[in-house]
Structure 1
């Protein structure tokens, strides 16, 4: 009881996981997987880096953080390092002296000096630099040069003296001129030199390591003052508000100096020194982390998979997709606030590529849902609409156009669609807005009316409208139309199939309007699924053979067995052989089933012979296969594959009334007999063509139908028929087998009638091969009836 309860609880979960292996859920998962893989490929080649840089620009404008205030920029609108204007060096020297007097903490001189024509000016600048001692650092510039690594532009040693040096990289820019990453240090002449940014921040690192630059501080908030303010304090009141005592001061050219402009977010002509200042502020704040494209792709792919898996309805999926799409800008904003750079473009790529895949799938599905000749949606679109809109009431009506194929043969290709559309116009006589669906010779629509009688009455009125012919392509074409109706009982797909089946059962003369039975829909759907599962069932061993012994009445011994196909479905249980064989014929799989049964039977017969039981093996062959010589090759190939003796194989021809051409069937049977097998006529005595087939076809054996054998003891007419058939077989020198014997007391009657062999429940039911091997070792006792 507990196991059953657990099974019931687990079934929905297991069913959900099974659906992953096929259907639309698997399709969506596959689309997510491809979107993720393509995005990872783009990440591998940095294809979306320009898009990421646009996102970083947005992040920098969103953040609005404040600087540490420890770094002050002092800019000059004049070129201070031009060797042709040495007098500017005196001005710079005075500014350095002023900073010294103000107790500056550190000075970074972000400009390089070559020796000028005025040695005194150079000495004056060198003395000012020397006076600052260890507090001053000269910034050398890495610029584009002849080599891949670029060139280093440095201050002359005569001017620099013993001052410490760092490097500012002017080459590490993107296509827009922005610097998004800086190095911790550089290798110059084989020696590691700190970068200007890391030196200002007091953070070390190797030359291979880089860090992201956070531009979340608005340029206007960077403390700055002009260099002239240091030499003429009274003229510049702002100096009172920018304190330099104890601070780190960066002296460089302003953005007004040609060649010194640098683009940063929010300012197109910022001083070049601002890049290093922003780098130093980033290191001070610790906002150097980057959420790379790889985890971003994984995050968004996982979200899409979760949305596809957990959202069972289309509405919920769209809501989930909307939330995931909104998550992207929310992530961008949140990351900007905490100083985390996000390579969001790859997440956006996942969403966009997935949307493209899904749009393509929907486009193909819409295309598949439209009849190209008429432009009308197909019947399957009606089913999809009923499911999508959760319509569980009303009726489905399927109209069958009679003689549709014959009419199409007479019409030109351009008139075929017009013919159907004219019929649709008549269907819309009462409701011009009626949504009609078309597929093949079927027209379908949904009726909201709950009363079946009202629907039938309406359809009878439509049939009257269709009494008049339609004019198509200059011809007058008679119209025959019938209808199948199925009420919707909460399962639109099932009722759709029932309505189509009801329409197929209609005829203009006898049954123009058919109503599908509620109980028959399950059988119909089961039949459809049955046909699709025949091959799978054979591969899984669900279809197998059992064997019913044939007893020789003269020796009371088993002289043969008949192989009978059985199907045990895990869900449905045992399926009637007559039922699934009919479905095999409808599905065109009869030849495949015959090969399967013949292979199993001959293999079993070979095993019986190996165990010392030399008995014959009988296999049923459908009369429908006697129209093609392929059955001869099939039998020959199976006998060769199993090495079973042909003389021990009997082919029982069933339903001989269905043989369409006796001359063709006779030639096929002769070829089979030439192989060595014996031919038996099954179910003799019933069917209009039995005597004709017996006369024209080369049979070695006839089997009297169970209808007469089972009634031999209680109906004199049955006994007379059995006796006459036995006498006819004896005169024709062929074996006579009575099948369907159920009462052991009837055995003497069959012996007196002249039957040589008998089979039926009186001796044994059909047995599995393992039981048959045991049964072979038992002696036959006539009173031991109904042995299983």
Structure 2
């Protein structure tokens, strides 16, 4: 009995210790496994101090929470399974980590250039839709990558995810994390290499279709400048456009984009598609007296009618009828060109613009369009803009249309044209032509 009295308390203490250890193991395992998808949690990477010579990719699904919330339980695991299957089509056997709308993995593709092409292909595959439980789901995503191999994974995962968020904000498919903090040197190197980048094809033009809601046809496109650096990957337009404006190099970029857009419009016409081409014009360039002559020269070289070119006017100084900017806009319209008020509803682009700016088109800013599904106030604002613009005989374009529901709402509100990821993201011209051709074939068929 004396022995039993001594052993039993010790046994109880040991039993409690074992139970606690197993409980802690389960807690740690749960912390490193996503309960919704069953995939390893991103937290596992955050806990890792390892180094890796592989490029880290973070893929962010846009509107992931809304998609999951629209279906019954267990759909997250099925959706994640389909996403993983598509990632592994060309990046085989990678271990994929999951957290919310973010999927993260260490790519087996060693070259940044090859990885960018791989992600382009993945986007085309995902754009065809994913079927879960017999229901088609429209998905769109943006990516961030980190290739600083001398940093621990715990640090790199935050950089890749931050780059993915930046890609969403800048409407880029891929953004690459740049850990170098010497901003002045970065800007100088960017500026000195800009002209060379245009000449050797690093700078190119992407085209985002504009869908006419009445005819259900692609009737135009917006030309958007892109820069794919051979070492640093895609450089966001928000970075190099700002530097080009600051150092008065915006005219070279604008000439390049307009020339490509006009050339493309003529090529489309030869293929049986008569479309308008929209090009963004910097407020700085509107004060350049040579702008109308430059545009006229490009139109004459390619033989395109000026009314097929739409100049999108973004944030400018406040306009009045005596300003040089306003007089420039009048000259452009008198030459046969069309004007569009971009980002309407933000900054200075408000009712004053509609009142006397000689524009034929109004573009509703994507911040209102993307939030109108969940916000009655934004929906009413979009409706008001459409009605007000129509009362002044303006065509209305909605930017940032990412879901079928948003498109249906805009159609019911009487919006004329839409553009956004639900229709197509900005793509190279050959992909744009294939998209338009395929769409026409389906409509005819």
What does the per-residue CA deviation read over 1:156-181, in whole Å, with 9 as the maximum and x for residues that have no partner? xxxxxxxxxxxxxxxxxxxxxxxxxx
Q: Identify if the C-alpha distance between structure 1 residues 660 and 697 changes in structure 2 by more than 3 Å, giving closer, same or farther.
A: closer
2:307 aligns with 647
In 2, Cα distance between the equivalents of 1:660 and 1:600? 32
Q: 1:146-185 to 2 correspondence within 5 Å?
A: none
In 1, Cα distance between the equivalents of 2:347 and 2:398? 17
* Aligned-partner SS, 2:359: coil
In 2, Cα distance between the equivalents of 1:607 and 1:781? 19
One of 328, 336, 351 as aligned partner of 1:676 = 336
1:634 aligns with 294
Instruction: Quote the offset at 1:656 in angstroms.
Output: 2.9
Instruction: Quote the offset at 1:689 in angstroms.
Output: 5.0
Q: In 1, are the aligned partners of 2:354 and 2:389 still within 8 Å (CA)?
A: no
Structure with the larger RCO, 1 or 2 (CA within 8 Å, 6+ apart) = 2
One of 676, 701, 704 as aligned partner of 2:364 = 704
* Aligned-partner SS, 2:424: coil
Q: In 1, are the aligned partners of 2:214 and 2:416 still within 8 Å (CA)?
A: yes
> Is the counterpart of residue 535 in structure 1 residue 195 in structure 2?
yes
1:591 aligns with 251
In 2, Cα distance between the equivalents of 1:635 and 1:554? 31
* Aligned-partner SS, 1:592: helix
Q: In 2, are the aligned partners of 1:552 and 1:758 still within 8 Å (CA)?
A: yes
Q: 1:182-201 to 2 correspondence within 5 Å?
A: none
Instruction: Quote the offset at 1:777 in angstroms.
Output: 1.3
Mark the runs of 5 or more structure 2 residues left unpaired by the alignment.
1-52, 54-177
Q: 1:165-314 to 2 correspondence within 5 Å?
A: none
> Is the counterpart of residue 741 in structure 1 residue 401 in structure 2?
yes
Instruction: Quote the offset at 1:629 in angstroms.
Output: 2.3
Instruction: Quote the offset at 1:552 in angstroms.
Output: 0.5
> Is the counterpart of residue 656 in structure 1 residue 303 in structure 2?
no
Instruction: Quote the offset at 1:658 in angstroms.
Output: 6.7
What does the per-residue CA deviation read over 1:409-431, in whole Å, with 9 as the maximum and x for residues that have no partner? xxxxxxxxxxxxxxxxxxxxxxx
1:561 aligns with 221
Instruction: Quote the offset at 1:680 in angstroms.
Output: 0.4
Q: Identify if the C-alpha distance between structure 1 residues 519 and 538 changes in structure 2 by more than 3 Å, giving closer, same or farther.
A: closer
Instruction: Quote the offset at 1:521 in angstroms.
Output: 3.0
* Aligned-partner SS, 1:524: helix
In 1, Cα distance between the equivalents of 2:210 and 2:372? 19
Give the TM-score taking structure 1 as reference length.
Answer: 0.33
Instruction: Quote the offset at 1:713 in angstroms.
Output: 0.8
In 1, Cα distance between the equivalents of 2:340 and 2:438? 27
In 2, Cα distance between the equivalents of 1:676 and 1:705? 26
1:759 aligns with 419
In 1, Cα distance between the equivalents of 2:433 and 2:303? 19
One of 209, 216, 230 as aligned partner of 1:570 = 230
> Is the counterpart of residue 521 in structure 1 residue 181 in structure 2?
yes
In 2, Cα distance between the equivalents of 1:605 and 1:589? 25
Q: In 2, are the aligned partners of 1:738 and 1:759 still within 8 Å (CA)?
A: yes
One of 326, 335, 348 as aligned partner of 1:666 = 326
In 1, Cα distance between the equivalents of 2:422 and 2:281? 25
2:23 aligns with none
Give me the CA root mean square deviation: 2.2
Q: In 2, are the aligned partners of 1:547 and 1:769 still within 8 Å (CA)?
A: yes
In 1, Cα distance between the equivalents of 2:395 and 2:202? 34
* Aligned-partner SS, 1:760: coil
1:19 aligns with none
Give the TM-score taking structure 2 as reference length.
Answer: 0.57
Q: In 2, are the aligned partners of 1:569 and 1:575 still within 8 Å (CA)?
A: yes
Q: In 2, are the aligned partners of 1:549 and 1:766 still within 8 Å (CA)?
A: yes
Bigger Rg, which one: 1
What does the per-residue CA deviation read over 1:743-779, in whole Å, with 9 as the maximum and x for residues that have no partner? 1111121112221100000010111111111112123
* Aligned-partner SS, 2:323: helix
What does the per-residue CA deviation read over 1:132-176, in whole Å, with 9 as the maximum and x for residues that have no partner? xxxxxxxxxxxxxxxxxxxxxxxxxxxxxxxxxxxxxxxxxxxxx
* Aligned-partner SS, 1:742: coil
2:276 aligns with 616
> Is the counterpart of residue 692 in structure 1 residue 341 in structure 2?
no
**Number of equivalent positions:** 266
What does the per-residue CA deviation read over 1:501-548, in whole Å, with 9 as the maximum and x for residues that have no partner? xxxxxxxxxxxxxxxxx9663333211110111111111111110100
In 2, Cα distance between the equivalents of 1:649 and 1:607? 14
Instruction: Quote the offset at 1:718 in angstroms.
Output: 0.9
What does the per-residue CA deviation read over 1:446-468, in whole Å, with 9 as the maximum and x for residues that have no partner? xxxxxxxxxxxxxxxxxxxxxxx
